[in-house]
Amino acid sequence: MKALMISALVASTVMGATLADEAKTAGLKPIPSNAKALEKLTSNPKNPTTSAKVELGKMLYFDPRLSKSGLISCNTCHNLAIGGVDGMTAAIGHKWTANPHHLSSPTVYNAVFYSQQFWDGRSPHLEDQAQGPIQAGPEMAASKEYVTGVVTSIPQYVARFQKAYGKDIKITFEKVADTIAVYERTLVTPSRYDDFLNGNKKALTKEEQKGLKTFIDKGCATCHNDIALGGTMQAFGAVAVYKHLEVGDFRGDKNGMVRVPTLRNITETAPYFHNGQIATLSEAIKEMGRIQLGVDLNDKETTEIETFLKALEGKKPQVIYPMLPASTVKTPKVDVN
Amino acid sequence: MKALMISALVASTVMGATLADEAKTAGLKPIPSNAKALEKLTSNPKNPTTSAKVELGKMLYFDPRLSKSGLISCNTCHNLAIGGVDGMTAAIGHKWTANPHHLSSPTVYNAVFYSQQFWDGRSPHLEDQAQGPIQAGPEMAASKEYVTGVVTSIPQYVARFQKAYGKDIKITFEKVADTIAVYERTLVTPSRYDDFLNGNKKALTKEEQKGLKTFIDKGCATCHNDIALGGTMQAFGAVAVYKHLEVGDFRGDKNGMVRVPTLRNITETAPYFHNGQIATLSEAIKEMGRIQLGVDLNDKETTEIETFLKALEGKKPQVIYPMLPASTVKTPKVDVN
């Protein structure tokens, strides 16, 4: 059985093209192994990444005082300890409010590689995206003025903004979001899969390579492509209706298009689908085959693909938990209501 | 004025006793500067501190999956980034429920030095304390079975328990709490004040020394003593009623006694008093003088004491944010209701 799989793999590549080449032809791209190339790829030319901005952005990312209640930080729903998500079916925010469209929190890891942000793709980049949840009523529920009020009330934050952007920086809400985005741009997780696409033929096991081949051959890479293996807008339920679609559920953007989730670290981001109604990866794979590709993936194919997806578990950046500066008497009072 | 203060200070110590000696006579004790001595002091002989337990305890401390909702970790209310507290007047937990007795979350930093845990002192040590909030309905709301169900469903957690306690370890709820406590025992924050009591006469400025003297002379150290500058049970409102006591407020244990909060890092743990109704340190100092000591501290004395208290800001241990192992299909489902 194993020998057969390997033969099949060899057969598919004897014509000269390696599996890595085939993957690239299918639109898959690795995270660059070269640090400079990676930084160039992830940095925003209009707001270049610097260590001062990254450190400040990390502080803001973890600071619950940016929320109206003082209890919810970016990290609450995009928790870097558990795959950059919250493990919920629908996100829970201010006053324990569930996301009104039953949407689960997408992972922040590798979100920099997305072409669009949010499930409906309404945001072009992380700088814009970061402004949303802070203000959204069912999430952090803070006004722009509240956020700038908090940050400017804390002298150490002001000093860090000046260090990051120059003495004359005006600390606006947008600048706070920009800085959080700079931090998020560093949250990439290279994996053995990237090593494989970058030329190390032994980085994936034969079984994982077989899974990658099945992934490509079945058409998964049609939507789950590029560096994120996701991140573009695609029609959801292209050939059949999702079996767990519920009343009130998110139905995509105005054209019914949905931003494809990354498959990187997918083993850490259950439950699956936009409304978190699928608990296991194998069920998610089969349902995707059925509603997007019109194929009934059998157990063998599903296992092959799952084996490949597990190889997308990446190495997380080390995070030194920030020690945040104390509030002052000028810091706006929190409001849990 | 400054010269006068210093003369007064010198005058008080010419008889042979230094200010550090006087502080010790008043019941104040430093965090030991010697690492071995500190470890001996903070380790639980029945469950000695080891690096394997500390690392596992840290993971559990930060893991929101120990709560019924999957959203609340120990760190949510005892946030190591903001002084080991949540900055709230009353703690908010499961289903956005406020603490029914209007109690704010005490800091976890230096809690190892307390003689009693919880505001009413009902718990003798951190191992016992850690069991409380995980199970409390308005906090993490998880049953013992739920917690052990989560931990034992994740193979990497099981392996770490075995590494920490031996292959035959039975993973009980109590063992989870014990392990969290081992981590909490490491959360101590030595400050310049400790250097001063440990013999470095220049570790505190003259103004801070003057403040320490006033702190002792006015009687603050009667309750705020020992290593934590707090941690024992004392009558609250001994000579007058607290001006912000509200209907439904916590009134102490069955004898009306309240566990004295630590003053370490007090600049980071506003708002003050058990119900968080006092916003500033100066107001807190004056109110304490009035209701506990029967003295009206004037602005000068208040400023002196405040200057001293600021010197209790300690050095926090560096925290590498844990990357937690993924849930499995066996992991109990979260329940936000």
| Residue B254 distance to chain A (closest CA, Å) | 31
> Which DSSP letter does residue A229 get?
T
The two tokens of residue B18 are: 């230094």
pLDDT of residue B1: 46
Element (H, E) at B257: strand B257-259
DSSP characters over A172-211: -HHHHHHHHHHHHTT-----HHHHHHTT-TTSS-HHHHHH
Element (H, E) at B233: strand B233-235
Secondary structure string (H, E, C) spanning B165-205: HCCCCCCCHHHHHHHHHHHHCCCCCCCHHHHHHCCCCCCCC
Distance CA A229, CA A216 (A): 11
Radius of gyration of chain A (CA): 21
Residues of B in contact with A71 (CB under 8 A): 76, 86, 88, 92
pTM to 2 decimal places = 0.95
Nearest to B51 by CA among B326, B316, B320, B264: B320
- CA torsion, points A115, A118, A123, A126, in degrees to nearest 10? -70
pLDDT of residue A17: 76
- Residue B264 · residue B229 · CB < 8 Å: yes
Check CB contact of A247 with chain B, cutoff 8 Å. no
Distance CA A308, CA B34 (A): 51
Check CB contact of A96 with chain B, cutoff 8 Å. yes
- Nearest Cβ partner for B318 among A95, A279, A320: A320
The two tokens of residue A126 are: 């992380």
Question: Which residues in A91-110 are b (16+ Cβ under 10 Å) and which e?
Answer: bbbbebbebebbbbbbbbbb
* Residue A321: pLDDT over 60: yes
| Token pair 């942000």: residue | A117
Name B320's bridge partners.
A320
At B79, give phi and psi (nearest 5°): -75, 115
| More confident site: A12 or B102 | B102
Active-site residue set of A: 139
pLDDT by 10s per residue, chain B, length 337: 455 555 555 545 445 579 999 999 999 999 999 999 999 999 999 999 999 999 999 999 999 999 999 999 999 999 999 999 999 999 999 999 999 999 999 999 999 999 999 999 999 999 999 999 999 999 999 999 999 999 999 999 999 999 999 999 999 999 999 999 999 999 999 999 999 999 999 999 999 999 999 999 999 999 999 999 999 999 999 999 999 998 899 999 999 999 999 999 999 999 999 999 999 999 999 999 999 999 999 999 999 999 999 999 999 999 999 999 999 999 999 999 9
- Nearest Cβ partner for B70 among A70, A87, A326: A87
Instruction: For chain A, list the domains and their CATH numbers.
Output: 2-35+189-310 (1.10.760.10), 43-184 (1.10.760.10)
* Residue A133: pLDDT over 50: yes
The answer to whether B86 contacts A70, with C-beta atoms less than 8 Å apart, is: yes
| More confident site: A47 or A10 | A47
| Residue A296 distance to chain B (closest CA, Å) | 23
Check CB contact of A329 with chain B, cutoff 8 Å. yes
At B286, is the secondary structure helix, strand, or coil? helix
Check CB contact of B163 with chain A, cutoff 8 Å. no
- Residue B110 · residue B188 · CB < 8 Å: yes
Chain B from 42 to 61: CB within 8 A of any A CB? none
- Residue A319 · residue B320 · CB < 8 Å: yes
B256 φψ region: left (φ > 0), alpha (ψ -120 to 50), beta (else): left
pLDDT digits (tens, 9 = 90+) for A213-236: 999 999 999 999 999 999 999 999
* Residue A118: pLDDT over 50: yes
pLDDT of residue A1: 46
Check CB contact of A306 with chain B, cutoff 8 Å. no
pLDDT of residue B9: 53
Share of chain A above pLDDT 90, in %: 93
At A135, is the secondary structure helix, strand, or coil? helix
pLDDT of residue A52: 98
- Residue A313 · residue A267 · CB < 8 Å: yes
The answer to whether B86 contacts A79, with C-beta atoms less than 8 Å apart, is: no
Tell me the CA distances in angstroms from A82 to A60, A88, A107, A108, B177, one per residue in order: 19, 11, 9, 11, 21
Element (H, E) at A92: strand A92-93
The answer to whether A326 contacts B270, with C-beta atoms less than 8 Å apart, is: yes
| Residue B224 distance to chain A (closest CA, Å) | 22
Distance CA B67, CA B147 (A): 8
pLDDT of residue B17: 76
- Nearest Cβ partner for A329 among B70, B279, B327: B279
Element (H, E) at A257: strand A257-259
Q: Is the peptide bond before A271 cis (omega within 30 degrees of 0)?
A: yes
The two tokens of residue A8 are: 């099949």
At B320, is the secondary structure helix, strand, or coil? strand
> Which DSSP letter does residue B234 get?
E
> Which DSSP letter does residue B290 get?
I
The answer to whether A70 contacts B76, with C-beta atoms less than 8 Å apart, is: no
- Cβ-based burial of A26 (10 A; exposed 0-12, middle 13-18, buried ≥19): middle
pLDDT digits (tens, 9 = 90+) for B178-209: 999 999 999 999 999 999 999 999 999 999 99
Check CB contact of A95 with chain B, cutoff 8 Å. yes
At B117, give phi and psi (nearest 5°): -110, 160
CA diameter of chain B: 72
Sign of the alpha-carbon dihedral angle for A124, A175, A66, B108 = positive
Residues of A in contact with B319 (CB under 8 A): 320-321
The two tokens of residue B293 are: 């000591």
| Residue B322 distance to chain A (closest CA, Å) | 6
